[in-house]
Structure 1
Amino acid sequence: MQSIRLFGYSLSGFHVFLSLWTLAALLQSYFMDLSGEEAYYVLFARSIDLGYLDHPPMVAFATYLGELLIQNELGARLLFILMSSCSLYLMFDLVDRKNLKLFVFLSMGLLAVHAGSFLIKTDVPLLFGELLFFYCYKHFLDKPSLKYCVGLAFAIAFMFLSKYHGVLIVFFTLLSNPRLFTQKPFYKVLFLTVLLMLPYAFWQYQNDWMSLKFHLSDRSDISFKWSNVLGYLFSQPLVLGPLVSIPMFIAVGKRKGLDLYEKALKYVLIGVLVFFFLQSFRVFIHKHWTSIALVPLFLLSYPYLAEREKLQKTTILLGKITLVALIPVRLYFAFDILPKQFVDSSGPLHHWERWSEQLDSVSAGRSIVFVNSYENASRYQYYADKEAHTLSTFYFNNTQFDYWDYEELIQGKEVFLINHKRNNPNFSAPFDADNRSQIRYAVVADYRSYAQVDIEINEPSESEGYVFGVGETKIVEATISNRGSYPLKLNSSGDMPVVLSQYFLRGEQQLGSKVVLDSLFLDSGASKRIKFELSAPETPGNYQMRLGISYGWIPATINSSRIKLKVKE
């Protein structure tokens, strides 16, 4: 490997590349505003816990440690930059440190490598943990010493505490080598992993497995659409490349005579892609969910690419093209260099501090609540250094905001309510903020919301959920509980009635609603059994049903899980 002398020290070409790459990420992170998702994770870090509704705690721990060192955008991203650079180091080691030129342009041709180098993403620690897992697994197969048992257990726990997708990596690895179950060192790894995961498992138990329930059944994007399936199929070559994925898949297809380590890589690659293809029939697959397939794709394809001169040259060329194309994109992420007409008002990247200052001015000291926008509520908290809340409504998802105490602090206050996307005549006409985003708002004199109320309907006897005839009604029993510090008063009178309604949904699309209860008093901390009438839509089909409590014209909160509803003719 070529080396370079700098200030009297001899540095390998790889160390120079990695240093320059890390420096570029540090500079980009310093100049770039936080995205809404990143600001949300900063709030996680500022309310440190063993778990969160959306994710395990690793993203919060890493953000917290970075902010201890530096109190700005760079500090929040610091640990993610370091994990990204360490991931490249592990990748180069796993391909036996061969062919630096191919490694540089193949890795630089991967969109995920660029994005992961300067953003707070749960995928960054997940991929670092995955690479550490395969590094330890490779050595474990040769020599299952205690060192590699501990390393494997640590890597598995690190993945599980980063993102639930880590389960797939372990599952398909075990599937590739079932003889592991007959070997004593495997049970050392299992014991140590369980030990490391106990605190998180206890947190899940204490919180009624809320995170697992959310991801398995309560997401707003759970519904069948052909666009989800086709979108998944057409997006994967771009996600796993874009351009270099072509020679990488060709190389994987040509590989023969795989050892146990390489067999595990192949099982994970194919298993992950097939798993999410099947999942696309029931839920929208976010593009980055398959990022864990990138590691086995890279590691499996690299030896073949390194040995085939023609294919190697093509790969390097495609990597160079991608790198050149992404440089101006990365510059734009850091600097506002595009004319105004080219900026999408729904997703500007810059001047969020100015935006927060403008909101401060327009809201005139009122508490600020965003409808279904945890991203903007988080950005406002970060840049204005003031509290804000997001109202999660019946057609959307719960967020971690629903488990913090922001809602309770604003009850009965005059609130500056900001609409997210849906049109509503009660909100003002949109106006452009200084950062080119659009704001629609309404002032609510006596704000009320009821996200702290939970309603659990008796389980249906049918395995497919509740089955109704067209327009049929049924009396059901439920338990209603008030976790909030203020009473619930259902009342249909007045200008702003408080009522419990039944909503028919497909994903985020509302297909109808009906008031099911308009008179009830439930004190803080109390629970009671209630009966009410559920109805079916007039059109046959498969629906999701949810209960929500609304306050006047303000959209209802989420007060039950999504319930399957089948309407027969």
Structure 2
Amino acid sequence: MLQTKKSPEQILFIFLGIWTILNIIQASVVEVHPDEAYYWMYSRFLDWGYFDHPPMVALFIKIGDFLWPSTLGMRFLTVISSSLSVFFLWKIVKPYGENIKLFILLFSAVLLFHVYGFITTPDAPLFFFTILFFYVYQKYLASDQLKWALLLALVIACLLYSKYHGILVLLFTILSNLSLLKRPSFWLIVGVATLAFFPHIYWQMENNYPSFYYHVIDRSAAFYKLKFTTEYLLAQLALAGPLVGWFLYRAAVVLKTPDTFIRAIKVNFFGIFIFFFFSTFKGRVEAHWTLPGMICLFILAYLYLSNRTVPKWFERLALANIALILIARLVLLIPIPFLMKNKSVAYYFGNETWAKQIQEKAGDAPVIFMDSFQEPSKYNYYNRTTKGFSYNSRNYRKNQYDIWSLEDSLRNKRVYWVGRDSKGLAGQDTLETSKGLYYGNWIDSVRLYQKVSVNPVEKSVLLGKNQPRVLKLRITNPYDEDIYLGNDAGEKWPCVLEYGYKNGPDLSEFRLVKAANLQKLRIPAKQSVVLNAEILGPKEGGMYKLIFSLRTDPFSGARNSNMIKAEVH
């Protein structure tokens, strides 16, 4: 009996089976990345928004963790959505060339696609909904029907709920086809998508736009470094495939087609990679931020090669590329001693042991970690608690721990304070952990004002060199109880208001703010006070960022203000 040749769909589903099983194994065995633990914390406090990202990743984790409270559960929807992404990606490219073996070869060769086959970060839903957006947009272009318009609107909302990078996909898609503006259904799409996304917009308004401030202002580097650009360019080559990425980029660039849909893919491809290239002049760009552009790169490279004879040397090089990726995935399953010196590899090992070792000392008490949203999140995830907290000092960045009510529950309680640096306090513990040496200290009646806002009434500040200047400071108490900022309210730990400047990578030494009534200052719950405060300008002229900090012993002081523009003459 003659064996029937398998159809492209049959081959695709065989590949999907293998891809899904591989990702399930990886998702089950590999320890959580610290960022994944942070997003698991998101899922403990479901909301319409978070400091760093929209809420889709929290929903992904919440659903999976509810079904299976395990690393597989955390990553379950990522595994499923990754396989669905492959299916819809094939549906997108199939009308232009039906070469399933080439499709599988190219997809498997793109390193970044493997990462989001099992790792659950906001990029996992971004990956899925970007592909789904292009699939539905392709249908909408071919048939301007109400069903496609409404479905596209809902997919757009999901895309925006996944990660803010989805805005770039929408922008470049519209720029590629301005005739969309003439379609009545286009404005229906805009209206429905906006309505569906409005809860997140309202959340931003209610919380003073923390995501906008962080991504647009706070992440800007103080000055440009050439390595921001060179690292970005090299990373894009590596993520497209360490051996074949250069050829995929070449194929995408030289492909010519009058097709309206493919024009959208090309504009997104060029637009996203160029946008983040110019972003390197503002600060460091994470390599994976170009994920939507990488999807476009794949589509364009496939279209270019599917209508040509694929060179044998490229096939061999792609297979070698896939072998390297599979070896890298294997490395995450088995701790190889000499590779553990690599920070990116070490991230995935020893986390659970570390969390249990600290929990042995802390018991059921709250635990405070210094300047890390990742460490308390790892501690919380592996101990199935929310008692780990991040103290974000003025030398660190703000994050979701500055918004959650976790800090409120710690005030005046006994806590265990853990860090890598010795504080030299009496009774300090030395902890030998799987992640190295840590030090622990018990603190009675802890005093924290991390969420208190201290900002000048004016938007920017003009200062004279080494000259005093009186500012009106608005100090806002976000808590449900009155607070006293002075040291005359019977508090165990003293509290002082300080200020410092930044015009390079480091902060200046902080000085005391001079304010007549600060020692007896009482701020009612959920209210603000305005007081006159004197500060001294820096000794040198130039542009600075002014920062105010409330320091309560024994901590180093929180960042209680925005990065305030200060011009010194």
TM-score by length of 1: 0.90
Query: Superposed, which structure 2 residues align to 1:157-172 within 5 Å?
Result: 157-172=157-172
Contact 1:106 1:315 in 2 (8 A): no
* Cα drift, residue 540 of structure 1: 3.5
Q: Which amino acid aligns with 2:204?
A: Q
Residue in structure 1 matched with residue 556 of structure 2 by the alignment:
555
Alpha carbons 1:393, 1:557 under 8 Å: kept: yes
Q: Which residue number in structure 2 is paired with residue 323 of structure 1?
A: 322
Q: Which residue of 2 aligns with 1:466?
A: 461
Residue number among 34, 37, 40 corresponding to 1:39 in the alignment: 37
Paired AA for residue 501 in structure 1: E
Runs of at least 4 residues of structure 1 off by over 4 A? 2-5, 220-223, 343-347, 422-431, 492-496
- Aligned residue number for residue 537 of structure 1: 538
Aligned to 2:567: 566
Residue 306 of structure 1: CA displacement?
Answer: 2.1
Deviates more, 1:42-51 or 1:274-283: 274-283
SS class of match (1:59): helix
Cα distance in 2 for residues equivalent to 1:115 and 1:426: 43
Per the alignment, residue 147 of structure 1 pairs with 147
Work out the percentage of aligned pairs sharing the same amino acid. 27
CA change 1:53–1:28 in 2 (3 A) is same
Q: Distance in 1 between matches of 2:527 and 2:150?
A: 47
Unpaired runs of 5+ residues, structure 2, are none
Task: Please show how residues 39-438 of structure 1 align to structure 2 within 5 Å.
Answer: 39-96=37-94, 98-219=98-219, 224-310=224-310, 312-338=311-337, 342=341, 344=343, 347-363=346-362, 365-386=364-385, 387-419=387-419, 432-433=432-433, 435-438=434-437
Q: Which residue of 1 aligns with 2:24?
A: 26
Please give the per-residue CA displacement for 1:201-237, whole angstroms capped at 9, x wherever unaligned. 2322333333323322234756543332333233222
Tell me the equivalent position of 1:483.
478
Larger displacement relative to structure 2 (294-303 or 552-561):
552-561
How far off its partner does 1:273 sit?
1.6
2: distance between equivalents of 1:474 and 1:294? 51
Q: 1:305: Cα distance to partner?
A: 1.7
Cα displacement (A) at 1:530: 1.1
**Using a 3 Å threshold, how does the CA distance of structure 1 residues 240 and 547 change in structure 2: closer, same or farther?**
farther
Does the 8 Å CA contact 2:550/2:557 hold for their aligned counterparts? yes
Q: Go from structure 1 to structure 2 and tell me whether the alpha carbon gap of 1:248 and 1:63 turns closer, same or farther (over 3 Å shift).
A: same
1-structure distance, mates of 2:492, 2:510 = 20
1:46 is matched by which residue type in structure 2?
R
Q: 1:3 to 1:258 in 2, by over 3 A?
A: farther
Structure 1 gap segments, 5+ residues each: none
Q: Conserved in 2, the CA contact under 8 Å of 1:455 and 1:479?
A: yes
- Whole-angstrom distance in 2 between the partners of 1:143 and 1:407: 53
Give yes or no for contact 1:3–1:13 (8 Å, CA) kept in 2: no
- Distance of aligned partners of 1:498 and 1:223 in 2 relative to their CA distance in 1, 3 Å threshold: farther
Count residues in correspondence.
557
Equivalent-residue separation in structure 2 for 1:113 and 1:548 (angstroms) = 42
1:379–1:24 distance in 2 versus 1, CA, 3 Å: same
CA distance in 1, matches of 2:105, 2:267: 26
Q: Once structures 1 and 2 are overlaid, which stretch shifts more, 397-406 or 480-489? A: 480-489
Q: What SS is found at the alignment partner of 1:511?
A: coil
For 1:521-532, what aligned pairs fall within 5 Å after superposition? 521-532=522-533
2: CA distance between counterparts of 1:84 and 1:515?
A: 53
**Structure 1 residues 522-551: Cα deviation after superposition (integer angstroms, max 9, x where no partner):** 233331111112333223443322211111
Deviation at 1:474, TM superposition (A): 1.6
1:56 partner letter? P
- Three-state SS of the structure 2 residue aligned to 1:241 is coil
- Counterpart amino acid of residue 131 in structure 1: I
Residues 388 and 437 of structure 1: is their aligned pair in 2 closer, same or farther, counting only changes over 3 Å?
same
**Contact 1:4–1:10 under 8 Å retained in 2:** no
SS in 1 for 2:439: strand
Per-residue deviation, 1:495: 8.9
The alpha-carbon deviation at position 140 of structure 1 amounts to 1.7
Q: Secondary structure at the match of 1:500?
A: strand
Please give the secondary structure, in 2, of the residue aligned with 1:299: helix
Letter in 1 for 2:107: S
Could you say if the C-alpha distance between residues 343 and 180 of structure 1 is closer, same or farther in structure 2, counting changes exceeding 3 Å? closer
State the shift of 1:14 in Å. 1.1
Aligned match for 1:497, one of 494, 498, 518? 494
Q: 1:566 to 1:243 in 2, by over 3 A?
A: farther
Report the RMSD for the aligned CA atoms in angstroms: 2.8
The separation in 1 between residues aligned to 2:458 and 2:497, in whole angstroms, is: 19
For residue 88 of structure 1, give the secondary structure of its aligned residue in structure 2. Answer: helix
Find the aligned partners of 1:252 and 1:533 in 2 and give their Cα distance.
59
Work out the CA distance in 2 between the residues paired with 1:204 and 1:60.
Answer: 17
